[in-house]
Amino acid sequence: MKEISCMLLVIGAGPGGYVCAIRAGQLGVDTVIVEVGKPGGTCLNVGCIPSKAMIHAAEEFEKVSHMAGGTSPLGISAAAPVVDLGKTVAWKDGIVSRLTSGVAGLLKKAKVKTVHGWATLRDGKTVAVETETGTQIIRAETVVIATGSASVELPFLPFGGPVISSTEALALSEVPKKLAVVGGGYIGLELGMAFAKMGAAVTVVEALPRVLAQYDVELTRPVVKRLGQLGVEVMLGAKAKGVKGDALLVETADGKNAKIAADKILVTVGRKPVTEGWGLDQIDLDMAGKFIKIDDQCRTSMRGIYAIGDVTGEPMLAHRAMAQGEMVAEIVAGHKRSWDKRSIPAVCFTDPELVTAGLTPDEAKALGEIKIGQFPFSANGRAMTKLGEDGFVRVVARADNHLVLGIQAVGQGVSELAAAFGLALEMGARLEDIAGTIHAHPTQGEGFQEAALKALGHALHI
């Protein structure tokens, strides 16, 4: 097979990789991208997009269930719903297919050559790709490593049989009657709550003293309350020990052994960078723990090799990878760029949703005196009309000059406020900027303005 030479080679077509390749192609850089699966990586194929599709389906099912049960305050009644999970998964797969096809089309439009297969580095400028038709050698002036991450597998709970990762959970043909979730982080709770809404009896096993430990207690309180309403049993300070028959073996917080009956055991204890199997041992890169070490331009310790996305560390978020990919493409094309982002908003799609951007109150207090403004959705008209009164918006700012340092929210649909939060921080907004901006009424976004007003000492609606 004839060798390929190019200016830029991107290994991995996840969010970071494909954005890097598309932008490089737009800038006239001769670019090749290698991917063993479909474009879009974990996020598009078995992560962000399909999970949100399933979460939405679960929300719709629960709404109709309340109407059938006569518990809806809206005065709407309906027949008892039935979920055909196979059909739901097919709908989800259709969305994924449309998006992956779209990414492939964008790569082609940008004149990026796509090579399908598993890439292995031979040295810092040469890659061998095992394709369906044989080994393809690619030589490049610059290489971008965008190999992503994978679900962490516990040695005593290996994937297979009843033990599944989020990938298998999103492809189930029927709702499990009993689901055990090992790990009370955002992935476990997002999927656990979705299956609970569709009728599964869900038990969450978390080794730490509380779920969603990366968020502060006040922010997660509405989610914990909702878990109880959905009938989700949460075992805190408990450690999964293995599986026996149709049960998960657990050591409880008080040191006792327990069995949790489960048709499926969903393990969501985190993700790890994919650093094996593609030739990392053939090059000499400095590492930052288990991640590839990079500088503020995503350069590794080897000249001509960049790394982006989950393989470079936390936060392991698709939008971080995309921003890194765009930046690297422009650097390769000769532009002056460096990483100077003020915040990377993070969203947890539980019920209710969580959004964080910038510093938490505790992180901000460590820097000096601060002001905090918090506005509850129980005082927001739009939230009331959506039956979404549980939650709030919180703004954290410096006390001396009112520079906004962080913004958090919990509530129904608050994920859509992430853009406003990120923009405010990126633009260096002060409390007066947010308070003085007219926010459309009636919207939940008014809570953002009201929180700033509260921090200034003159809230209008509380």
Helix H, strand E, coil C: the string for the chain is CCCEEEEEEEECCCHHHHHHHHHHHHCCCCEEEEECCCCCHHHHHHCHHHHHHHHHHHHHHHHHHHHHCCCCCCCCCCCCCCCCHHHHHHHHHHHHHHHHHHHHHHHHHCCCEEEECEEEEEECCEEEEEECCEEEEEEEEEEEECCCEEECCECCECCECCEECHHHHCCCCCCCCEEEEECCCHHHHHHHHHHHHCCCEEEEEECCCCCCCCCCHHHHHHHHHHHHHCCCEEEECCEEEEEECCEEEEECCCCCEEEEECCEEEECCCEEECCCCCCHHHCCCCEECCEECCCCCCECCCCCEEECHHHHCCCCCHHHHHHHHHHHHHHHCCCCCCCCCCCCCEEECCCCEEEEEECCHHHHHCCCCEEEEEEEHHHCHHHHHCCCCCCEEEEEEECCCCEEEEEEEEECCHHHHHHHHHHHHHCCCEHHHHHCCCCCCCCCCHHHHHHHHHHHCCCCCC
Residue that is written with structure tokens 């994937």 in the block: 159
Catalytic residues: 441
CA distances, 413 to each of 88, 127, 186, 300, 381 (Å): 22, 44, 16, 38, 14
**Long-range interactions of 397-401: CB distance < 8 A, separation 24+:** 397/370, 397/371, 397/372, 397/373, 397/430, 397/431, 397/455, 398/364, 398/367, 398/368, 398/369, 398/370, 398/371, 399/368, 399/369, 399/370, 399/371, 400/368, 400/369, 401/430
429, 409 contact by CB (below 8 A): no
